[in-house]
Every structure is written in structure tokens, then in C-alpha cells.
């Protein structure tokens, strides 16, 4: 058997194994139960007050290990995460925040900076090895920016759901200066901040009534 034939058989075997994993999962579970959906979305809330219970390194690793499996265009995985929990880190981050958001950040055990890499395409050969797509972005900065922002935001949403799924609470924040965050944390790099997300165990006494949502017919249509 020649090398190309052996490689082809190996790829075929890997594809069959991946297909078997998906089929086996669907045999075990076809959907989430109502409590699982409530935990991650339907009854979950954005939180602004926190207990002093810590968030561990193991939990942060667990969140990322879920996030990294979420779909992105060409498996580009452009999101980058900075977990701010030291006094120095919080002091630097506080410079970027609107005054009302400073105590929310300082009281949270961890604040994640959800960022994205504007030169994500440099890693595409590693992440999308069966075809070299780097040329789609290397000389097209506007296209690269749109792609990385879209997919980095998508990974940020995965991040929030993953944190809830392992039993933590989250509170995303956009009341800050991206420019200041980038100067403090990403100067001299190809990274840009997207949004912030506080992580921890919420103080439920600060929860207020849920705000209205659109109904299906308000925002959905068929074509």
C-alpha cells in the first residue's frame, strides 16, 4: 500500500469514528431536559452582585474545554480569554469601566476579558489542516476583522453558557472602554477586547424582575 492510500484509509477511519461518536450520543440523549435548559438559558439571569466563594483554576479550565469544542468558521477559534482576579489586574481593568460597573467587577471572583485575535488566520493551518485558507485573510484585513469579531463573539456566548453549565453564574458587561482595555492588556499584540464577563457565585438577593422578551411572531419569519 502506498503512502497516499494509507493516509486516505486513516482519514476514512477517523471520519467513521467521529460519526459513531455522534450517533452514540444521539442514542443516549436526544435533547436537554427542562431543568438543564433552565440552568443555561431559560431561567438563567445576568448577575451583578457576588458572594466571596472563589472560582478555581479547575473550573476555568473546565469552561474553556467546553468552549473550544463549539463551532466556529473554518474552526478558526479566534477568541482569547484573560481571567482577571488579582488586585493589580482589577486595578488595571477598573480604569476602563464606567463608575457604576467598577464595584460589580471588583466584587466578582473573576472577570473574563473576552477578546479576539485580529491575526487568527496565522493558526489556520494548525486548526484547519486539510486546506490552507490563510490566504483568504492574510492580505484582507477588513475581511479578517469581520470574521474574527463574529466568531470571537460566538465563542463569548459559548463561554457564558459553559460557565452556567458547570454551576457558575455570569454577568456580561459592555460599559467600558475597549481602547483602555486594549492599552492595559493587549498593547503590542494582535488582540482586541470584545466584552467583559464577571464569573462567580451570585448573591441572589440582588436579582430583580425579569425584563420582557419578544414573542416568536415579533421577530421571526419564514421565507
CA nearest 172: which of 213, 115, 112? 112
Q: Alpha helix (H) ranges present in the chain?
A: 3-28, 34-37, 57-67, 87-94, 102-107, 124-127, 141-165, 178-185, 216-219
Instruction: In whole angstroms, give the CA distance from residue 50 to residue 107.
Output: 6
Main-chain phi, psi angles of 222, to 5 degrees: -120, 150
Quick: pLDDT tens for 49-79: 999 999 999 999 999 999 999 999 999 999 9
Cell numbers found for residue 53 = 466563594
Collect all residues with Cβ–Cβ distance below 8 Å to 175 and sequence separation of at least 6: 97, 98, 100, 101
Q: Provide mean pLDDT across the span 173-202.
A: 98
**What topology is assigned to 33-208 in CATH?**
NADH Oxidase (3.40.109)
Q: What is the pTM of this model?
A: 0.93
Say yes or no to pLDDT of 4 above 70.
Answer: no
Most distant CA pair in the chain, distance: 68
Reading phi first (left if > 0) and then psi (alpha if -120 to 50, else beta), residue 167 is in left
Calculate Rg over the CA atoms of the chain: 21
Say yes or no to pLDDT of 195 above 80.
Answer: yes
Average pLDDT over the chain, rounded to an integer:
95
CB 104 within 8 A of CB 171: yes
| DSSP 8-state symbol, 39 | I
Q: What's residue 134's pLDDT? A: 96
Q: Provide mean pLDDT across the span 23-35.
A: 94
Q: pLDDT band for position 9 (50/70/90)?
A: confident
Quick: pLDDT tens for 127-166: 999 899 999 999 999 999 999 999 999 999 999 999 999 9
Q: What's residue 10's pLDDT? A: 79
Amino acid at each position: 500500500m502506498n503512502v497516499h492510500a494509507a493516509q486516505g484509509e486513516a482519514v476514512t477511519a477517523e471520519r467513521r469514528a467521529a460519526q459513531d461518536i455522534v450517533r452514540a450520543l444521539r442514542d443516549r440523549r436526544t435533547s436537554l431536559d427542562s431543568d438543564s435548559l433552565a440552568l443555561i438559558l431559560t431561567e438563567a439571569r445576568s448577575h451583578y452582585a457576588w458572594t466571596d466563594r472563589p472560582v478555581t483554576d479547575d473550573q476555568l479550565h473546565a469552561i474553556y474545554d467546553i468552549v473550544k469544542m463549539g463551532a466556529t468558521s473554518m474552526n478558526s477559534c479566534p477568541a482569547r480569554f484573560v481571567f482577571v482576579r488579582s488586585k493589580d489586574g482589577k486595578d488595571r481593568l477598573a480604569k476602563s469601566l464606567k463608575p457604576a460597573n467598577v464595584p460589580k467587577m471588583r466584587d466578582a471572583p473573576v472577570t473574563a476579558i473576552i477578546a479576539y485575535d485580529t491575526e487568527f488566520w496565522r493558526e489556520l493551518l494548525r486548526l484547519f489542516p486539510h486546506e490552507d485558507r490563510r490566504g483568504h485573510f492574510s492580505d484582507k484585513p477588513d475581511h479578517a476583522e469581520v470574521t474574527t469579531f463574529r466568531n470571537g463573539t460566538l465563542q463569548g456566548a459559548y463561554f457564558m453558557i459553559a460557565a452556567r453549565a458547570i454551576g457558575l453564574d455570569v454577568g456580561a458587561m459592555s460599559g467600558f472602554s475597549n481602547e483602555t482595555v486594549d492599552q492595559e492588556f493587549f498593547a503590542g499584540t494582535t488582540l482586541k477586547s470584545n466584552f467583559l464577563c464577571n464569573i462567580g457565585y451570585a448573591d441572589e438577593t440582588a436579582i430583580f424582575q425579569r425584563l420582557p422578551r419578544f414573542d416568536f411572531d415579533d421577530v421571526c419569519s419564514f421565507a
